[in-house]
A and B are shown apart, each in its own frame.
Chain A
Amino acid sequence: MIRSLLLVVCLTCPAIAAAQLAPAPAVAIDEGRAAAIARQLVRIEGEVPATWVRGLGAADRAILFVLAEDPARALVVRRRAVLALRHLAEPAVRALLERRASDPSEDAIVSRYALRALALGFGEEAFDAIVARLGDARAHVREGAAEALVLADPARARAALEGALAVETSPFVRRTIERLLAG
């Protein structure tokens, strides 16, 4: 009931939400360098090392942000960029990851990897943002949220997962939650 009232009363919410979810404004970047960074991100095997990400200069970090958020980039690049960002423990990164995780129009795998990056990069600080995605309309995101919760804060994850299991309808998401609860 309260939720319904809020939905009715908050006439400006959609606009606020849209502004929060929208990618950061585009910035001009060196496309040649962006291509080189993208090539490093999209490895055949393994992830780009944390030391490499942390060693990026300000201009390269800006490129990484663009690669993660720019919907015109190849999805495989965006997915890897989102994951790589977890190595930068900055508020702007956390905000970007939360945007990508919660944007309903986002590629589900980008959102899922954003949840994983939040969990691995920000731990229990990101717990509440991850819990919120247990109610996402996209099943892969819900499953990713369940997995990420355990990474973020195993002690608090159980109660959230039990609550999610009670309402989860997707068989494969249920299976994942049951596996996580079984330890």
Chain B
Amino acid sequence: MRGLLALCFVGLALPLVPACYRSQSRPARPDAPAPDAGPDDAPVGRPDVPRDAPLDARPDTPLSRIGCRSDAECDEGLCVLDVREAGADLTPAPLVCGVAGRAAPATECEENAECENGLCAFAGGCVEPCRSDADCPSSDRCAPVWVITGREAMQQVSACVRWVDAPEGTAVVENGTVAVTPFASNELTLGTAFRPRRTVLFVAPRASLNRTVDRVTLDGRVVFDVFDFTAAANPAVAFFDLASVLLPNAPLPAGANPRGALGVALTADAESSLRRIVLEYDGTGTTLDLNVYWLGIAQNASRRRIVTRMTEGYAELLASFGARLGRIRQRVAVGGTLDARAIADDEQEAAENFAYGAGAGRPALDVFLIASGTTLLGMAGGIPGAMTMHGTRSSGVVIGLDDLETGIDGGFFDAAYPPVLLGHEVGHFLGLFHTSEADGTEIEPLGDTPVCDASRDENGDGLLEPAECAGFGAENVMFWGVQSSDATFSPSQRDVLRGAAVLSP
């Protein structure tokens, strides 16, 4: 059988050989990402493809004319990208029953032709098309995924993507649906004690709706209450359509039972069923892998230098809390996507960029590069963000690279500033709040971070500028308006960062 399969793939077989279709069977999904295929920071792109040739143009590829949207609709073969029709930028990807590559879904990939379904997600993993969640394994959801289909074309397909790409050392304790009453506060008891070094709870949506974390309890004791935000021992926020809670993100309150039951009260709009994912992280991880997406801004030499400086400098910040930067995988968007994602008019639009990480298929943190945002130089998908989850509206950080570049060129930023910006946003994503806010209020509960309160507002303009907060937090990476290139983390902050469930051993 393997021999017959080989014939199908090397193109010796005639088109539309039924045996080729029947011989296709879905191998087991890999539990771990594929080994590195290239240099750590090599941009992917498609250097082997002639610039005037459509991608994946393989005249020997056996494809039918039978349209499909999932494998279940194909009596023979799988539901694969129709390379004959593909290449219309920003349109749905055409799918037909047929045969493509060999790599199973969730395997890392560089090109569509490698994948069983002929679909290599922009985010870098093979994906299988679907109509709904019912077409996917229980560990997956059916989500929009972008695929590069031509030199200047990216097309969208609905595909199965894993809810969680957890690194070694992080256990998925729960991954299922939970019934909730819409527009009411729902008490959700986690099926776990407060056992590991860090527990992360995610409650993810099925649609783009708002949700709010109302209250977090440990053994019946309230450690966060949205109506008493400043008194929180373990503050929680919900960004966009996904609520995420990191517990603990500060020392436990006196008298709290560190092995007590955890509870979260949550309000969601108009939904009666939510996906609840609970991760337990054992704290053994030291390595942070990054997926860097050039999504809304084209590469050039100057920008590559800034990004290199950003990641190299960030590696030094990681080292300050005993972690290291692992593999950096870069993905480069093409065609109209570069324009369509260039500018974020608001935070919601910025969060839409995170959808392009769907199908990454490996436990890495997603960093999206765009040109500019009206309300951001950088933004994290949450505090914490959706660690280990790709493609949700809380999955990653976004950086306005053109704003950063023009700020450096114009002398506004120090050339050493980019790592601090990345460190600030990733700090949020991994669970850190600002040391104190622009008006001097304090949400963050850590005891060793300086506070710059309203009494330091020397010019009385209501905003605490870095100069007014010198010695009172301005030198901290998580200062609300950090501009110091020498900014650092406090020991407690480092402890929270070390608890990030996205770190691999």
Contact A38/B375 with A44-B480, A79-B403, A175-B336 known, Cβ cut-off 8 Å:
no
**Residue contact B481 to A39, C-beta cutoff 8 Å:** yes
Question: Does any Cβ of A come within 8 Å of B289's Cβ?
Answer: no
Would A77 and B345 be within 8 Å (CB), given that A45-B376, A116-B374, A172-B340 are in contact? no
Within 8 A of B (CB), among A67-107: 73-77, 79, 83
B437 to chain A, nearest CB (A): 10
Do B343 and A109 touch (CB < 8 A)? Answer: yes
Closest to B350 in A: A45
Instruction: For chain B, residues 415 to 452, give those with C-beta under 8 angstroms from any C-beta of chain A.
Output: 421, 424-425, 438
Contacts of A139 in B (CB 8 A): 339
Cβ-based interface call for A20 (8 A): no
Report chain B residues within 8 Å CB of A47: 374-375
Q: Are B421 and A44 in contact (CB under 8 A)?
A: yes
A116 to chain B, nearest CB (A): 7
Judged by a CB distance under 8 angstroms, whether A4 is at the interface is no
Taking CB as reference atom, which chain B residue is nearest A47? Answer: B375
Q: Count A-B pairs with CB separation below 8 Å.
A: 103
Task: Find chain A residues with CB under 8 A from B421 CB.
Answer: 44
Decide if B372 is an interface residue (CB 8 Å cutoff). yes
Contact of B466 with A by CB under 8 A:
yes
Q: Is B482 within 8 A of A74, CB to CB?
A: no
- Residues on B with C-beta less than 8 A from A14 are none
Most chain B CB inside 10 Å of its own CB: which residue of A77, A83, A144: A77
What's the nearest-Cβ distance from chain A to residue B91, in Å? 9
Within 8 A of B (CB), among A32-60: 36, 38-40, 42-49, 51-52, 55
Q: Bin chain A's interface residue count.
A: 35 or more
Could you give, for residues 169-183 of chain A, a 1 whenever the CB lies within 8 Å of some chain B CB and a 0 otherwise?
Answer: 011100110000000
Contact of A171 among B336, B409, B483 (CB under 8 A): B336
Q: Are B339 and A170 in contact (CB under 8 A)?
A: yes
Q: Are B336 and A76 closer than 8 Å at their CB atoms?
A: no
Contact A39 B345 (CB under 8 A): no
Determine if B463 is an interface residue (Cβ-Cβ < 8 Å).
yes
Q: How far is the CA of A85 from the CA of B466 in the complex (A)?
A: 22
- Scoring A40, A170, A172 by chain B CB atoms within 10 A of each residue's CB, the highest score goes to A172
Task: Please report A residues at the B interface, Cβ cutoff 8 Å.
Answer: 36, 38-40, 42-49, 51-52, 55, 73-77, 79, 83, 109, 112-113, 116, 139-140, 143-144, 147, 170-172, 175-176
B interface list, Cβ under 8 A from A: 89-90, 336-337, 339-340, 342-343, 345, 371-372, 374-379, 400, 402-404, 406-407, 409-412, 421, 424-425, 438, 461-463, 465-467, 480-483
Considering the complex of A and B, which 5 residue pairs feature the smallest CB-CB distances, nearest first?
A74-B410, A75-B406, A74-B412, A172-B340, A172-B336
